[in-house]
Amino acid sequence: MAENKCGKCIACCKYTMIQIPKPKTKGDYSDILWYLYHENTNVMVERKSGKWQVISYNRCKNLDDKIGCKNIQ
């Protein structure tokens, strides 16, 4: 089971980010376009590492109005 990271900061409560393989083929680039067709979604490449990532800017449903987590007791 994955570690619960809630409560350590609020950064990931406002977006999610996953690493994707560096595109090599026309089909890979087509997949990246598919990500970009979705609202509030970007693709970025980290300058230093060259890692490709998809970022979706959507708030966590457990983030309350006071910028705290409803899941943490």
pLDDT in tens, 39-62: 999 999 999 999 999 999 988 888
Residue 42, CA distances (Å) to 16, 19, 29, 46, 49 in order: 11, 12, 14, 13, 18
Q: Which tokens belong to 22?
A: 């560096």
CA distance 35 to 54: 8
Judge contact between 6 and 72, C-beta under 8 A: yes
Tens digit of each residue's pLDDT (9 = 90 or more) over 8-17: 666 667 888 9
Q: Which tokens belong to 20?
A: 């994707």
Q: Residue 20 belongs to what H/E stretch?
A: strand 16-20
